[in-house]
Each structure stands twice: as C-alpha cells, then as structure tokens.
Amino acid sequence: MKKITLMLFLLFSFNSYSQDVSCEDLMNFVKSKGSYVSSMPSYIMDSEWLYEVTAYRYESKYYVIAKIKKDKYSYQTKSYIFCGIPYTNWSNFQYGSYNDSKSYGERFHKYIMDYQCNCY
C-alpha cells in the first residue's frame, strides 16, 4: 500500500519523480491505471533501434513506454518510461509535424527523449 501511495504522489507532482520508485513499478502502474492512447510498432516505424513506442494518459498527463532494441540486429529490447510528455509532442512523434520528413528515431529524440522519468 505504501508503494502505491508513493507512486500516486509522484504521478501527481509536476514531472519530479523520485529515485525511490523503480521504472518497472512505474511502467506497471501507468499500464494498469492509465488509459491507452496509441502505439507505434516496429513494422510501421522501420527503425534500427526503436521496437515499439506506446503512449498512455493518466490524470491528464501523457506517458510513453518505449521498447528499445539492444542493437539493430537484435530482437532483445529494454523498456524505458518517459513522463509528462506534452500531447503535441506525442502527436508530432507519431505523425510528424508540418514539412517534417525526419525518421521515427529522429522524431523520438526531438519530441520524447528529454522526458525520461527519474526512476531506477
């Protein structure tokens, strides 16, 4: 119960997440309590390093869970969570912005990467 209370406190605070919460616990919480928004699978992104990128919404804030490949030839992935993503950033990543011909990897770096949660 203490862990859930701590995670709720962290999720309500403005993008200030504690190292006391594991990224795995935070991902599980967002997946179970948040609303699924949309997902970009590898066959659409055709990326050497992005395997799957999924957005969730919880309490009017957006979270992205990205599965990133170990290397461009591997099917092994590691999941990372990104917190407090502005919806326009998710939309620009997913669809590209006006006159934006960047790859999904370049758009991920531009719109999502700076929002990695501070968890362990």
Task: Please report the DSSP string for 26-79 in residue order.
Answer: HHHHHHHHSEEEEEEEHHHH--SSEEEEEEEEETTEEEEEEEEESSTT---EEE
- Decide: 62 and 56 in contact? Cβ < 8 Å: yes
Q: What is the pLDDT of residues 30-68, one digit of tens each?
A: 999 999 999 999 999 989 999 999 999 999 999 999 999
CB atoms within 10 A of CB 9: 11
2 vs 92: CA distance, rounded Å: 37
Say whether pLDDT at 13 is over 70: no
Q: What is the pLDDT of residues 99-118, one digit of tens each?
A: 777 899 999 999 999 999 99
**Residue 69 located in a structural domain:** yes
pLDDT at 3: 54
**Residue 120 located in a structural domain:** no
**Residue 46 located in a structural domain:** yes
Q: Please give the tally of structural domains in the chain.
A: 1
pTM (whole model) above 0.85: no
**Residue 52 located in a structural domain:** yes
Domain range for 65 is 2-115
